[in-house]
């Protein structure tokens, strides 16, 4: 049984490698990008969206997959990069200071090159379709593509603190500090590399407050938009 995110991603790539040989029979499907505040439920919602859309997809051989942490492995594999670069491809490791120092010392490629390779991989995945891409400026990279739906998940700070406390068994102070650090990292990543404000509402098709809309309903809303926009890919009741 395929259970882990990396195993699911591998299965996805394998299915689309075969699909690419039969383009007329298997048209490329839609892509969803998800920008999120930490603790807003992106993990649960994206998994549920993936499950729902997989069941509705006409061609059952074509797999849906989520690329978040496993996007790092794909970037490394696509570009024949050494495994040790994994740590540098994390959003919280890609900073201007790290880039300058590491480039001078010859430790790894300059950050702009790693970000460029990540963007290339995101474009490749979006072109293949039937994929959910979380973070790393996916909505900016794919902004001109017609098969992509951009989602932003947000929630009030108190709700996010409670969820992060539960997930990581942290004190309230620790959870609040972690949220602030993570939000700052995501904001900096988009601003520094793409000159965009992550809070800009015009970057997204839908912004969902998961405090007002439960995770299951949020997933159903996203799926409803995908099914309506790309009906020819799905079995519509």
111-159 pLDDT, tens digit each: 667 778 788 888 888 988 899 999 889 999 999 999 999 999 999 999 9
26-84 pLDDT, tens digit each: 457 899 999 999 999 999 999 999 999 998 888 777 888 898 876 666 666 665 555 54
Is the CB of residue 38 less than 8 Å from the CB of residue 160? yes
Q: How many whole angstroms separate alpha carbon 155 and alpha carbon 38?
A: 9
Of 90, 104, 113, the closest CA to residue 185 belongs to 90
CATH number of the domain bearing residue 180: 3.40.50.300
In which domain, by residue range, is 70 found? 5-233
pLDDT at 220: 95
| Token pair for 7 | 């195993």
Cβ neighbors of 96 (< 8 A, separation 6 or more) are: 111, 192
Using the predicted structure, report yes or no on whether residue 199 has a pLDDT greater than 70. yes
- The total of structural domains in the chain comes to 1
Q: Which residue has the tokens 């997930």?
A: 167
**Quick one: DSSP state of residue 2?**
-
Q: How many whole angstroms separate alpha carbon 45 and alpha carbon 222?
A: 9
């Amino acid at each position: 049984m395929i259970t882990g995110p990396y195993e699911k991603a591998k299965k996805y790539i394998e299915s689309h490698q075969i699909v690419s040989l039969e383009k007329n029979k298997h048209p490329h499907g839609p892509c969803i990008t998800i920008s999120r505040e930490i603790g807003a439920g992106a993990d649960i919602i994206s998994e549920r969206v993936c499950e729902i859309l997989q069941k509705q997809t006409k061609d059952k051989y074509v797999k849906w997959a989520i690329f978040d942490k496993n996007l790092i492995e794909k970037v490394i594999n696509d570009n024949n990069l050494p495994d040790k670069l994994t740590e540098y491809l994390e959003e919280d490791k890609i900073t201007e200071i790290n880039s300058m120092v590491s480039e001078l010392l010859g430790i790894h490629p300059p950050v702009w090159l790693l970000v460029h390779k990540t963007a290339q991989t995101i474009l490749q995945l979006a072109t293949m379709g039937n994929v959910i891409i979380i973070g790393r400026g996916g909505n900016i990279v794919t902004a001109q593509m017609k098969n992509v739906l951009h989602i932003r998940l947000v929630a009030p700070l108190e709700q996010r603190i409670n969820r992060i406390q539960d997930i990581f068994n942290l004190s309230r102070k620790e959870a609040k500090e972690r949220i602030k650090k993570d939000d700052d990292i995501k904001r900096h990543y988009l601003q520094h590399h793409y000159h965009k404000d992550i809070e800009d509402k015009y970057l997204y098709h839908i912004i969902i407050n998961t405090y007002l809309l439960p995770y299951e309903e949020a997933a159903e809303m996203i799926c409803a938009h995908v099914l309506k926009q790309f009906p020819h890919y799905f079995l519509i009741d």
